[in-house]
Amino acid sequence: MSELLTTAQMRAIEAAAIESGRVTGLELMERAGAGVVEAIMEEWPALAKSSYRAVVLCGPGNNGGDGFVIARLLMEREWEVQVFLYGAPETLPPDAKTNYDLWCRLGDVLPLSEKDFRKDGRNTADIYIDAIFGTGLSRAPDGELAQFLRHLGGAGGDDYAARMVSVDAPSGLCLDSGRVLVPPPPEAIANLLDARPHGAPVYSDRFAALTVTFQSAKAGHFLAEGPAVCGKVVVKDIGLSDWQKRNLAAKGETRHPAKGLRIPKLFMRDGPKGDADPQLRHLTYDMAMLSKYRGAGSHKFTYGHALVLCGAAGKTGAARLAARGALRIGAGVVSLGVPAAAMPEVTAQVTSIMTARIDSAEDLHEALKDSRITTLCLGPGMGIARAASLLPVALRAKRKTVLDADALTALSQDPALMALLHDDCILTPHAGEFARLFPQISARLKALAISGPAYSKVDATREAAAAAGCSVLYKGLDTVIADKTGRAILSPAYYSRAAPWLATAGSGDVLAGFITGLLARGMPVLVASEMGAYLHVECARSFGPGLIAEDLPEELPKVMRALGVA
Ligand SMILES: NC(=O)C1=CN([C@@H]2O[C@H](COP(=O)(O)OP(=O)(O)OC[C@H]3O[C@@H](n4cnc5c(N)ncnc54)[C@H](O)[C@@H]3O)[C@@H](O)[C@H]2O)[C@@H](O)CC1
Ligand SMILES: Nc1ncnc2c1ncn2[C@@H]1O[C@H](COP(=O)(O)OP(=O)(O)O)[C@@H](O)[C@H]1O
Ligand SMILES: [K+]
């Protein structure tokens, strides 16, 4: 687990460090610049062996200040360095101005314009440093600057991405939301190189080969367009971990010393270890905790009985996939609740999964008299009408409940059903289902991001969970899981964890099954959901090309063993 920071949290941590008197802003800037140079040499070891040519593009704030440090450090390595500045030197903040002055003893600074930049073959450098905007981006770049960024983004046919190193963020990317900010119409429309219905982003594709950020990755590196434009993200320690740890209030929030803001923390599972933060350990289990008890006295019901409600004949595959996922992940007993007419189809297909005839709400009510059924899963292949008829009984039973697919559609059509959701429910919508369930939140998320911090998928998922009164797992390559109190975990399938083979029919059904199985085993809802999402991606990565949904549960034994589950 690692923590993802918002820009406000980063500022709060930096302010706390500087206020302590143990470090100055200038020292932090020097460490940041040195971190970028180090990351460049690690990424391209050949560059460390000789002197090359760099172009450094500096902006009007401290991101630009980092740029002047980088320019100086590269020149100390006898590189040829060309520096451009967007904005006036006299308005640079103090630390950036100090580094500007230091650089001016070594070389020139040219005003940043596309014309000057392209003159004299300046697009032939070995490395470009994008130090225009970082965490201080407050609105979309517009006018000539937007034009210039589009040029850097490859709009004019020159391709800089393979040699571009962004400091903290590709300039124009909102580090809270991962949205590339877009200048408002009509200017965006006038500048369109690539006409889109809602205006063109400043740039829309891969922008940098490497993005070097400081202390912790920011949410925007892993959300929305962030991964596409950052290339690769490297985090460099600049010595703020004491303050990052201390800046934690009892409920897992960052305090903002200046404004008294309380910002809930955001975690990302990026490995099998869960020990992110002592105060949140209950949320962040190690994978090893999936092991089954080795001593005497445990039996199948120790690991819970999950009931997966199945749809009509010809539509039972989705529920069977979910049930198989729940069983493989370690639920003690898994049953399918099957309509009579679908029973022959289901029984012909399953062996270790049990079946129970459930035609009606009364049948479900009867089945739930068995208190050993701890967990329910409704939705995959169920049909909307069947979901709507079984949901009232299922929700009133107050078991741990996973709601996916048709159950989500049924919920979105009936506010009375929504009102029955409770703490132990988890909704697992993809973007289309999310839009049906939470149309206003979804519209806000889809709107153009013009100013920062832009509304993010984390904001949207937290808001949806609060509105629904239960937990929500909003699927995608940047899956976000939140509970109604605002606790949130990001489960990305990006960068080194990319899992494109998951884009296959039925993979969402298996995810619902994984979460169902973990809930049956007794895990809290948020833990089961984030662990299920993590294992889902791991199974896809482990299997690789050719993956179909059936393979996901079958890959679990190998994946769990590799993650230390005994
Ligand atoms: N916070 C920290 O702990 C540290 C920050 N450092 C660097 O400082 C950066 C943050 O510095 P700042 O807060 O000065 O912010 P930035 O340097 O990212 O940008 C802020 C400046 O850009 C202007 N601006 C914002 N959006 C604009 C737009 N669309 N068009 C034109 N101008 C725009 C603002 O008015 C302000 O002058 C970080 O990204 C990082 O690179 C590092 O030096 C080390 C430590
Ligand atoms: N390209 C991709 N990379 C990583 N994960 C993906 C990708 N495409 C889809 N997924 C994941 O696969 C699952 C698909 O679920 P869903 O949309 O409900 O599909 P289905 O209904 O076919 O099962 C989600 O967990 C989603 O996050
Ligand atoms: K930048």
Burial (CB count <10 Å: 0-12, 13-18, 19+), residue 182: buried
CA distance 376 to 372: 11
Residue 140 annotated as lining a ligand binding site = yes
Query: What is the gyration radius of the CA atoms in the chain, in angstroms?
Result: 26
Could you tell me the two tokens for 448? 């153009």
How far is C-alpha 166 from the chain's CA centre?
Answer: 20
Note the pTM of the prediction, 2 decimals: 0.95
Stretch (H or E) spanning 126: none
Question: 136 a known binding residue?
Answer: yes
> Is-contact 134 101, C-beta < 8 A?
no
Return the CATH number of 305-562, one of 3.90.45.10, 3.40.50.2300, 1.10.3470.10, 3.40.1190.20. 3.40.1190.20
For range 245-266, the mean pLDDT: 62
Question: Are 139 and 176 within 8 A, CB to CB?
Answer: no
> Is 168 in contact with 234 (CB distance < 8 Å)?
no
CA of 191 to the centre of ligand 2 (A): 35
Protein residue closest via CA to atom 7 of ligand 2: 503
What single-letter amino acid sits at 94? P
Is 126 in contact with 163 (CB distance < 8 Å)? yes
Copy the structure tokens of residue 78. 């006898």
Residues with C-beta less than 6 Å from any ligand 1 atom: 10-11, 14, 28-29, 32, 59-66, 93, 133-141, 167-168, 214, 238
Q: What is the pLDDT of residues 18-47, one digit of tens each?
A: 999 999 999 999 999 999 999 999 999 999
Spatial separation of the C-alpha atoms in residues 513 and 532, rounded to whole Å: 9
Crossing angle of helices 94-104 and 62-76, rounded to 10°: 30
Q: ipTM value of the model? A: 0.95
- In CATH terms, the fold of domain 24-238 is Rossmann fold (3.40.50)
Which residue from 430, 480, 491, 496 has its CB within 8 A of the most atoms of ligand 2, so it is best to mutate? 430
Strands across the sheet containing 233-236: 109-111, 80-85, 53-58, 127-131, 164-167, 210-214, 233-236
Q: Is 137 known as a binding-site position?
A: yes
Q: What are phi and psi of 244, to 5 degrees?
A: -65, -40
Q: How far apart are CA 334 and CA 356, in angstroms?
A: 10
Ligand 1 centroid, distance to 94 Cα (angstroms): 12
Residue range 204-233, pLDDT digits in tens? 678 999 999 999 999 999 999 999 999 999
User: Rounded mean pLDDT of 82-86?
Assistant: 96
113 secondary structure, DSSP code: -
Residue range 314-322: average pLDDT? Answer: 98
In angstroms, the CA 147 to CA 132 distance is 14
| pLDDT tier at 274, thresholds 50, 70, 90 | confident
The upper half-sphere exposure of residue 256, i.e. CA atoms within 13 Å in the direction of its Cβ, equals 14
From the CA of 536, the nearest ligand is 2
Q: What is the per-residue pLDDT for 411?
A: 98
Better-predicted residue by pLDDT, 395 or 158: 395
Quick one: pLDDT at residue 112?
A: 92
Q: How far apart are CA 305 and CA 424, in angstroms?
A: 16
Classify strands 164-167 and 210-214 as parallel, antiparallel or unpaired.
parallel
Mean pLDDT computed over 522-536: 96
Residue 383 is labelled as binding a ligand: no
Q: Which atom of ligand 2 is nearest to the CA of 505?
A: 22
Say if residue 223 carries a ligand binding annotation. no
Give the residue with greater pLDDT, 280 vs 143: 143
Tell me the C-alpha distance between 82 and 80, whole Å.
Answer: 7
107 — pLDDT class (breaks 50, 70, 90): very high
- Residue 203: the pLDDT is 73
Beta bridge pairs of residue 426: 402, 471
305-562 shares the fold of 24-238: no
Cis peptide before 453 (omega within 30 of 0): yes
Domain positions in the chain are 24-238, 305-562
Q: Evaluate if residue 245 carries a pLDDT over 70.
A: yes
**Among protein residues, the one whose CA lies closest to atom 29 of ligand 1:** 141
Query: Which backbone phi and psi does 190 adopt, to 5 degrees?
Result: -65, -35
User: What is the Å distance from ligand 2's center to 234 Cα?
Assistant: 27
